[in-house]
Structure 1
Amino acid sequence: MSSSVVDDPLIAALRERLRSPDPGVRRVALLDFADLEDEALLPDLAAVLNADPDTELRAEAARALAGWDHATAVDALAAALLDEPPVRESAALALQALKDPACGARLVPLASHADAAVRAAALRALKELRVNAAAEPALSALQHADAAVRREAVGVLGWLKHAQALPLLAAVAADDADAEVRRAATGALGLASPEDAAAVLPALYVALADDEWAVREEAATTLGKLGAGSAAAAEALRQAMGDAYWQVRLRAARSLGKLRDRLALEVLSEALLHPAGNLRKEAAIALGEVGDARALPVLQAAQADPDPEVRKALRIALQRLQGQGAGA
């Protein structure tokens, strides 16, 4: 459709239906507007979102505006964050679909809004846009009373790879009252550069002993990213191979493989006997990555594993060790 719709009789008829007292008629007209996918019609969709008396219609309008990186859409969706919960939730989801960082500047002020739900939604939308101006409100939000706000703030800082935030993120990973916030902060510590890694490793050791297994799982993963060359990190991961949750052991095995820790041969070999096939698979992969020829008999003995995915991982590990002539 042409961007000029002033004299289009179809558009005039649709606008008339949007003024109908019947919400059903207005809804069909709204969907027709959305199907036209014309930027020139965004003000009509925005008007429904911000002014229609029907809550469900306003929520539908928010969904229709998703994916439009245009000031009219962004402003309308931002205003809708102050609406009733169904509209607010649809607007928040629509804002997450933004791809143009230029749109983020319109959301940065909302990242400091007094309403916690508005603040969390704005931070969530800003996360993948990587808007540098979002760093300041995100840093401030790490101290917010609402866990959802803190969690979204961690996400913003992680995606920005905001190195100055590392000490605060380390403190959040170790001490925050909310497990999901601790988990997010533990993952965000993976942004540390090799030069900064040593400073955040202590927080990861604390996270690896967290009461919540999901935090421990995240810590095991992040240690695999940052623990290269650290004997303490490798030791902590070997200890994690005794975790009560196999999910934590799986991440620890994966990280030990990345670190090529030859001292992990025993714990990785033991994991090949675990009931969880996913863990056995990861242990086999890790043994291949470690590159220690002493693993050959263990891998060969496990080749009759009942899980085809595990057997495939075993074959790849054996080929890797035999093909590279792994040293003893």
Structure 2
Amino acid sequence: MVKKHGKKQRARQKSRRTGAAHASAAAGTTHEHTPLPDMTVLTETPYLAGQNVDTELAARLVAACRTGCRPCQTTLARKLRTEQRPTLTALAAAVYATLPTPGFVASPTTQEWAPLARAGKSDPTAAAEALAVVAAMDDASASELLEDALDHWAMGGATAEEIDDKVKVVHNAPPRQRPADPMDTFRKAGMKVFTLDDLDLGDVDAYYLAPNYGVTLMKTTTPDDQPMPMLVLYPETEDAGIEDLEARSDWEHWGLHGMPDIDPHWRVLARIADRSLQGLVHVGPDGEDDIELWRAAKTVSLPEHWWNLLDRVQHVLVAGPVKTPEDPEALQAVGDAGKLLAVVARVAFV
């Protein structure tokens, strides 16, 4: 179901960036690329955990990318990957901490790492983890992350001011927020808004007071052709739909290209005892479920092949809402219309 344009697009971007047709690149001549950008701002990123960044190496590599010199890129990139993982982390974080999504052309390595970079803007623990993950990458994964980051740096301006503006966004950009509570509009207008706690209704199950969804089991493939379990949501109550899902989640609009973001706060609950799905919830800052979009009305054991895939991948692509989720054409139509929301949720085995 996921459209596999990523590899071809990355190949085209790499061809443009490396400038293989340049005579100097073909000849393998040694030369300097000027002006060298001022990369001292990389030392201010929160991902370094006290480690040093080689700003000169970063500047030479970025300059080589912008002039399309393949020999210099190959040599400098190899040196950075093998000797300067903190510098690699800073270069990548300067890009992916500022973007709401790494984009469908990004490699699987970058898709998995980018959420850590975003979280690290305001969370020192996540920032340290982002650095540690890069430090532990094998050469192939580090190469993928670096190439993706350099695709962005190669398109940037060559002046110190432009680079400084680009990197400072890491510090100044507000974190991605969920849509505002629609009840805030009424509160600002001076109207009294009552919550369930205010009404003191006793043991009322809040799940049945909110819009509900059903789920349809599907399977898809990632951009690198790996199988992945998928759930498609459909409205079960009249008030469920795109407006409700936008208001209650921070899922991205998804057109079936690439993979949506991974958000570990969204959980698909799977019960091991009977191999069944139990619900789809969001876990709040206090560790408690604060949003429940779907709850199983009865226990239905999953097909063995689907459960085995779930157990192996331990993530699920969740997308919706679609009125007829079992119809691939309906899913495609909703995606093409820009009315499909999606997230990659973690599996919580209970």
The answer to whether the superposition gives a TM-score over 0.5 is: no
More helix by share: 1
> TM-score, length-normalised on structure 1?
0.25
Q: Using CA pairs below 8 Å that are at least 6 residues apart, which structure has the higher relative contact order?
A: 2
Look at both structures and tell me which one has the larger radius of gyration over its CA atoms: 1
More strand by share: 2
> TM-score, length-normalised on structure 2?
0.24
